[in-house]
Amino acid sequence: MKNTKLIKKKLFLILIILIILVFLIMVSFKSSYASYETESIINVDVNKAIYLFEEKQMSFNIDLDGIIPSDEPYIYSFSVSNYNEEQRSEVDLQYQISIITTTNLPLNYKLYRNEQYSLSSTNIISASDVVNDTDGSWYKKLTINDIYNMNYNIDKTDIYYLVVFFPKVYSDSTIYQGLVDNIQINIDSKQILE
Amino acid sequence: MNKAIIKGFIIIVLFFILYLIGKKTYSSLYSIINGNTDIDLADFSVKLNGVDITNSYDLTISDIAFTNSHASSNVVSPGSIGQFNLSLDTSNTDVAVLYTLSFDDATSNNNKLLTIKSVSIDGLSVQLVNNEYSKIIPLNEINQIKSIIVTVEWISNDLIDNQDLTSKELISLKLNVKQYNG
């Protein structure tokens, strides 16, 4: 019994000595390794440029309820801009147009940029190819080789006139009854880097 | 056992009292020995771009002119290259210091848009290691203001450029300055 008490007392003494030692070590450590130090974060914050390219009226459905074979072409317009009501693109940009149509109707196409259709105006379609899709369907691909630029320092709108010809020779044909052709205009735009 | 606890407690309390008395006594003797001599602590003062950052301070730099012939000059866009200057002033410091610049840019963080193109200090180009640069300012140079020029670039990347950029940050860096203990 006495031995147990003695052991407890010794353990308690050791504990007190340890507490004092830890305290001394902490005080010693603090004074030995105190040094000046500062750390700051620097953030760079500059407004990112607005990239703005507005497209209007980019897809058309042409059906025979809307057009009939005629000597006069049908004209559809669409436009692209580098600005809207609120802001303008802050980077120069360039774009290229391509047109894909279905081939249900015997239609021919011409495209004019910033000029109305006339005999003297310039058709910008470079090539027209009928292509077989991977799923077996046929479509017509109209290629426009030219790439157009829009500068960031000026409001710019390009208006396009898509002229669709449905020759009158088909006026007696009934095989196109109920058919619809879809025209999809794709515009690939990107910032000019170089 | 209770008595032992009380004894132990008394010993600890006495120890702390002795420590405090000893500390105070030592201070008094110290001041008597030195008379009214005023021994200053070594000064440690760091300014960055004129702003005192001795006790840490976060800075925002927004007056950077970016060069991009295809973009407005007051904005940054893919392809832009810009520079900003940092002046590190330790002239009111009495100790040698070690400073470390750590850059958090697009090469290490997907949420950043700009990449470090080059860093020069006092006109000399320096090499970053893991986007970090450390240098000692010895005591004999402590009064010289360090001129740090950081050139950054927005490298065009289709994967980034096609994302919504509003939530992305441009670049940030951390400056750590500490006493150099050898």
Nearest to A161 by CA among A75, A66, A73: A75
The enclosing H or E element of B15 equals helix B2-33
- Structure tokens that stand for B66 in this block: 């970016």
Regarding whether B152 and B102 lie in a shared domain, the answer is: yes
3-state class (DSSP) for residue B26: helix
* DSSP secondary structure, A15-76, as one string: HHHHHHHHHHHHHHHHHHH---EEEEEEEE--PBPP---EEE--EEEEETTT----SSPEEE
More reliable by pLDDT, A181 or B117 = B117
Task: Tell me if chain A has a CB within 8 Å of the CB of B2.
Answer: no
Task: Decide if B62 and A8 are in contact by the 8 Å CB cutoff.
Answer: no
d(CA B179, CA B182): 9
- Structure tokens that stand for B171 in this block: 């670049």
The complex's ipTM works out to 0.73
The tally of CA atoms less than 13 A away on the side-chain side of residue A69 is 13
Report the pLDDT value the prediction gives residue B90, as an integer from 0 to 100: 95
- A14 lies in some domain: yes
pLDDT tops 80 at residue B103: yes
Strand partners for B147: B87
Enumerate residue ranges in chain A where pLDDT < 50: 31
Regarding whether B57 and B8 lie in a shared domain, the answer is: no
Q: Which of A105-119, A167-181, B71-85, B87-101 is predicted least confidently?
A: A167-181
The whole domain housing B13 covers 1-39
Beta carbons within 10 angstroms of residue B12's beta carbon: 14
Report the pLDDT value the prediction gives residue B142, as an integer from 0 to 100: 94
d(CA A20, CA A16): 6
Regarding whether B150 and B95 lie in a shared domain, the answer is: yes
CA angle A166, A167, A172 (to 5 degrees): 105
- A46 lies in some domain: no
d(CA B74, CA B58): 23
Regarding whether A118 and A83 lie in a shared domain, the answer is: yes
Regarding whether B94 and B24 lie in a shared domain, the answer is: no
Mean per-residue pLDDT over chain B, rounded: 85
Chain A interface residues facing chain B, Cβ-Cβ under 8 Å? 8-9, 12-13, 15-16, 19-20, 35-51, 90-92, 152-153, 191-193
The whole domain housing A81 covers 54-191
| Residue to substitute from A31, A33, A42, A191, interface B, most B β-carbons within 10 A | A42
Regarding whether B104 and B28 lie in a shared domain, the answer is: no
- Structure tokens that stand for B159 in this block: 């994967």
Share of chain B above pLDDT 90, in %: 59
3-state class (DSSP) for residue A4: helix
d(CA B61, CA B150): 12
Task: Decide if B95 and A36 are in contact by the 8 Å CB cutoff.
Answer: yes
Task: Decide if B76 and A39 are in contact by the 8 Å CB cutoff.
Answer: no
Report the pLDDT value the prediction gives residue B29, as an integer from 0 to 100: 43
3-state class (DSSP) for residue B119: strand
> Which residues, at least 6 apart from A147, have a Cβ–Cβ distance to it below 8 Å?
A94, A95, A96
Task: Tell me if chain A has a CB within 8 Å of the CB of B33.
Answer: no
User: Shortest Cα distance from B130 to chain A (angstroms)?
Assistant: 18
Task: Tell me if chain A has a CB within 8 Å of the CB of B100.
Answer: no
Dmax over CA atoms of chain A, in Å, equals: 126
Regarding whether A141 and A88 lie in a shared domain, the answer is: yes
Q: Which of A22-31, A122-131, B77-86, B100-109 is predicted least confidently?
A: A22-31
Number of domains chain A contains:
2
Interface size A-B, in CB pairs within 8 Å, comes to: 140
* Chain B hits for A44, Cβ within 8 Å: 60-62, 64, 84, 114, 152, 170-172
Regarding whether A174 and A117 lie in a shared domain, the answer is: yes
Task: Decide if A48 and B113 are in contact by the 8 Å CB cutoff.
Answer: yes
Regarding whether A84 and A174 lie in a shared domain, the answer is: yes
| pLDDT bucket at B36, cuts 50 / 70 / 90 | low
Residue length of chain A: 194
Regarding whether A66 and A90 lie in a shared domain, the answer is: yes
Q: What is the pTM of this model?
A: 0.71
- Structure tokens that stand for A136 in this block: 């077996």
The CATH number covering residue B162 comes to 2.60.40
Q: In the 8-state DSSP scheme, what is residue B142?
A: T
The tally of CA atoms less than 13 A away on the side-chain side of residue B135 is 15
Task: Decide if A9 and B172 are in contact by the 8 Å CB cutoff.
Answer: no
Regarding whether B22 and B97 lie in a shared domain, the answer is: no
- Structure tokens that stand for A99 in this block: 């047109």
Q: In the 8-state DSSP scheme, what is residue A171?
A: G
Report the pLDDT value the prediction gives residue A65, as an integer from 0 to 100: 61
* Chain A hits for B152, Cβ within 8 Å: 44
| Residue to substitute from A8, A45, A46, A47, interface B, most B β-carbons within 10 A | A46
Regarding whether B60 and B6 lie in a shared domain, the answer is: no
Task: Decide if B58 and A43 are in contact by the 8 Å CB cutoff.
Answer: yes
Regarding whether B85 and B20 lie in a shared domain, the answer is: no
The CATH number covering residue A117 comes to 2.60.40
Regarding whether B173 and B103 lie in a shared domain, the answer is: yes
- Is the Cβ–Cβ distance between A179 and A63 less than 8 Å? yes
d(CA B31, CA B28): 5
- Is the Cβ–Cβ distance between A157 and A79 less than 8 Å? yes
Report the pLDDT value the prediction gives residue A181, as an integer from 0 to 100: 83
Which of B4, B114, B172 is closest, CB to CB, to A9?
B4
CA distances from B72 to A90, A152, B34 (A): 5, 7, 66
Number of domains chain B contains:
2
Task: Decide if B75 and A48 are in contact by the 8 Å CB cutoff.
Answer: yes
pLDDT tops 70 at residue B162: no
User: Shortest Cα distance from B169 to chain A (angstroms)?
Assistant: 8
